[in-house]
A and B are shown apart, each in its own frame.
Chain A
Amino acid sequence: MEELVQHIINGLNLGAIYALIALGYTMVYGVLQLINFAHSDVYMVGAFAAYYGAMRFHLTDKPGWLSFALTLVISMVGCSVLGLCIERFAYRPLRNAPKLNTLITAIGVSLFLQFSGQVVFGADPKLFPEVLHDETLFSFGAIQIQLFDITIISVAVVAMLCLNWFIQKTKTGMAIRAVSFSFRSATLMGINVNSIIMVTFAVGSSLAGVGSVLVGLKYPKIDPLMGTLIGLKAFVAAVLGGIGNLPGAVAGGLLMGLCEEMVVAYLSSTYRDALAFGLLIFILLFRPSGLLGQTRVEKV
């Protein structure tokens, strides 16, 4: 029983991170109907931005909440800037092109980031800066609650609450919702669609940045290809919840995290990654709109 609780805690932690990254995928898909393949690599760059930033500002000399917060900021800013550049130079020129062209470009950007990352950062893994020390906070029998676990869940929840407030209660957030609903109508209503898309990319990418710092805390090995697997799982989470649907991304993320944890705990760890692919294919073949999504009907 206690083991189960531990697994649930672990699963929720993992799921919270998947949710953060999934939100980025879903937001971009909502406004552009584009699967942003490069999102997972923006996440990776966030981790490296934090790495170099922490070194530059000597944040590891004084581990603690301030250093952690600064690392978060550095990663978020780095990711946002990168996300904005990608949108501006790779996707915007293709705004009116067939969707498939943009998809191919997204794949190109993703691979470009991965391989130039290997060239620039070096292919060998590096250690994420220790900007916070881990401690065991509570212990109930076999259940151990680490500081990192609490941090991850709290930061993720705060980020999601902020996003929710932003989307539901601000004018820009409403504009984003309008653009996801109907691109054309939004333009006709006087919304500057280019700015809205830029904001969407910036916000989505910074969430990935938050995710990369949280992951870096708990799994400090970082390398230029680290985004691929987690990006895939987060993408599956987004599709599971209904791509384009924000609460769906969160639900999907948490579900993915829990499922993965249970599969590793009770089935076998070799199948942990196959779960993602299998789930993806299953969803796309049998219920492409996901749990909470809606299908779009083509007008004839």
Chain B
Amino acid sequence: MRLALKDVSIQFGGLKVIEKMNMNIGDGELVGLIGPNGAGKTTAFNLITGIYRPTAGEISFEGQSVATLKAFEISRLGVIRTFQNIRLFQTLSVLENILVSMHPRCAYGLTAVFSQGAKFKVVEDEFRADALKLLKIFKLDHLAAHEAGSLPYGVQRKIEIVRALAGQPKLLLLDEPAAGMNHSETAELMSLIQKIRQDFKLSVLLIEHDMKLVMGICERIVVLDHGMVIAEGGPKEIQNNPRVVEAYLGVEDAT
């Protein structure tokens, strides 16, 4: 079991944003987290990645509780995310953005930096090669030297995914990866996500509003509404679940 949420709740003042959420993600699973706006999906991501602390319940990754861990420690365990509102390092180049994620693996210390020893060169070349390899998968390697903030929105979204991958995650959290994409771009993204899941042996949890993508690639879907899990199951089950329909579209009037 990669990720386990047990009765997780979070409350801001009097507002209960997430209430008694239970969710498990196994090795290699591709799970979708859906729900209407304001349901608490991104908050769930923030809880899993350690940006918020739950007011109740437990979150554990690979059997280890993450309750006392800082966000960067959770990331180093292998839980890496992308953001709903893109958070690339705007004035850095695309390559530098990717290289940042590799810093936790940096095998050289300050002495090697100051003396520019052999180890420094070797590790830097290795990092660069790995970064370009990752960018190639997404066909973005030609943009390596470009300033990240100057690129189109859709491209930036993809770079965020590459940046997350560079950290060698075991669980990849994608927050609305297809936002702003058209049909063909979404289809491309769908196959990319499946490919990286397979090649890198990841578990993937994604938040999405694009139902074609969700129903198309997710093996299991968790539905959140007003901070509570209202349904869980495969795509067909969820599509036919009346509670899910109600959450998105509302209930028909009695008249």
Contact = CB atoms under 8 A, between A and B. Distances in A.
Assess A/B contact in the complex (Cβ within 8 A).
yes
Nearest to B175: A300
Nearest to B49: A300
Nearest to A297: B12
B187 interface: no
A210 B159 CA distance: 57
A59 to B, nearest CB: 54
Contacts of B46: 300
- Mostly helix, strand, loop or mixed at chain A's interface? loop
A300 B12 CA distance: 14
B85 to A, nearest CB: 9
Contacts of A300: 42, 46, 51, 83
Interface string A283-300: 000000000000001001
A136 to B, nearest CB: 53
Contacts of B42: 300
Nearest to B83: A300
A300 B86 CA distance: 10
Nearest to A298: B51
A300 B81 CA distance: 12
Interface in A46-82: none
Contacts of A297: 12
A297 B42 CA distance: 15
B158 to A, nearest CB: 21
Interface in B69-102: 83
Interface string B36-51: 0000001000100001
Contacts of B12: 297
Interface string A262-300: 000000000000000000000000000000000001001
A297 B83 CA distance: 17
A300 B43 CA distance: 9
Interface in B198-226: none
B159 to A, nearest CB: 19
A229 to B, nearest CB: 39
A297 B10 CA distance: 15
Nearest to B87: A300
B42 to A, nearest CB: 7
A300 B51 CA distance: 8
A300 B44 CA distance: 12
A53 to B, nearest CB: 50
Interface in B1-17: 12
A299 to B, nearest CB: 9
A297 B11 CA distance: 13
A297 B12 CA distance: 10
A300 B85 CA distance: 8
B162 to A, nearest CB: 21
A106 to B, nearest CB: 25
A247 B171 CA distance: 49
Interface in A197-254: none
A23 B136 CA distance: 58
Interface in B108-159: none
Contacts of B51: 300
Closest 5 CB pairs of A and B: A300-B51, A300-B46, A300-B42, A300-B83, A297-B12
Interface of B: 12, 42, 46, 51, 83
Interface of A: 297, 300
5 contacts: A297-B12, A300-B42, A300-B46, A300-B51, A300-B83
